[in-house]
Every structure is written in structure tokens, then in C-alpha cells.
């Protein structure tokens, strides 16, 4: 009987240590999740700041006539850009896909390429849906100076098919 009681006490002690260890792991996991959430918020804010800085820099270069390279978009990128350009408000990427007959992943790929070429598109997420719009100052610049040299046939085709 003594050995049985000693064995039970030993198991209880081990169980208590495991429970304390598990509590510590759970607290650390919660802390890591909280820190990850904060990190995502900061990353989002940094991305927005970078977009704004790029927009300001690009606009300043264009206004001063200091642009050294023209932004060239391929036909598909021009179509995606034109839909975004003609939208009065931010447009959902799924809506762009529907209008052009592409998949949402294709649209996201085109948007990424357009942004990487220096066009200041502003991406926003609402209720887990992706919305995109053109920076207003760039939109004005595009309207006045046609910086991107959108192919006339793209505009005509999209107007004829009522995509914009």
C-alpha cells in the first residue's frame, strides 16, 4: 500500500508539473499570437506609408519632368488599369475579374505587376475582400498627360463591350 501511495503521489507531482508546463506553453502561445497580430498591423501601416511615399516621389518626378523611364504596361495590364481608372470608387478585384473575364488570381497578378512598374494603386481590405483604386493625384496626372500611353484600341474595345 505504501508503494501504491508513493506511486500515486509521484504521478500527481508529475501531472502537476505537466499542467504547469502546459499553462506556460498556452500563455506563451497567446503572447506570440498577440505579438503576431501587432506585427501584421505594423506591416500594413508600413506598406501604406511606402505606397504613399512612392506616389509622392513618382508625382514629384512627373510634375518636374524628371522621369527617366516611361511606364509600359502590356495589353492585359492596360485593360486592368483602365477598369480601375474608370471606377469612381475602389473596386473589388472580383468585379474586375468578372468584367474582363479573368480569374481573381490573374487580376491580383496583373495588379502586382502594375504596382511593381510604379503605378500607384491603393489596395484596401474590407471584410476580407480586396479593393483597389488609383491614387487620385496619379489619376489626375494620367488624365492630363497620359503617362501610361494606354493603347487606343484597348479603350475602344472596352467601351464597345461596356467593360468600363
pLDDT at 52: 81
d(CA 56, CA 67): 13
Q: Which of 49, 68, 87 is the last residue of a domain?
A: 68
Which structural domain range is residue 17 located in?
Answer: 1-68
Report the percentage of the chain scoring pLDDT > 90: 48
Q: Is 80 exceeded by the pLDDT of residue 55? A: no
pLDDT tens-digit series, residues 110-135:
999 999 888 999 988 888 888 999 98
Query: Which grid cell is 71?
Result: 511606364
59 shares its domain with 135: no
Of 136, 122, 137, nearest in space to 60 by CA: 137
6 shares its domain with 60: yes
**How many domains does the chain contain in total?**
2
106 shares its domain with 56: no
pLDDT tens-digit series, residues 80-110:
999 999 998 999 999 999 999 999 999 999 9
Instruction: Read off the pTM.
Output: 0.60
Amino acid at each position: 500500500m505504501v508503494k501504491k501511495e508513493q506511486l500515486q503521489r509521484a504521478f500527481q507531482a508529475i501531472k502537476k508539473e505537466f499542467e504547469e508546463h502546459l499553462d506556460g506553453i498556452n500563455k506563451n502561445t497567446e503572447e506570440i499570437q498577440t505579438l503576431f497580430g501587432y506585427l501584421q498591423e505594423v506591416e500594413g501601416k508600413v506598406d501604406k506609408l511606402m505606397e504613399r511615399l512612392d506616389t509622392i516621389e513618382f508625382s514629384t518626378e512627373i510634375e518636374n519632368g524628371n522621369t527617366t523611364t516611361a511606364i509600359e504596361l502590356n495589353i492585359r495590364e492596360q485593360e486592368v488599369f483602365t477598369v480601375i481608372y474608370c471606377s469612381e470608387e475602389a473596386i473589388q478585384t472580383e468585379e474586375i475579374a468578372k468584367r474582363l473575364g479573368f480569374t481573381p488570381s490573374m487580376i491580383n497578378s496583373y495588379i502586382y505587376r502594375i504596382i511593381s512598374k510604379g503605378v500607384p494603386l491603393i489596395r484596401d481590405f474590407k471584410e476580407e475582400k480586396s479593393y483597389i483604386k488609383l491614387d487620385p493625384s496619379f489619376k489626375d496626372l494620367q488624365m492630363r498627360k497620359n503617362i501610361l500611353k494606354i493603347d487606343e484600341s484597348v479603350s475602344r474595345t472596352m467601351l464597345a463591350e461596356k467593360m468600363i
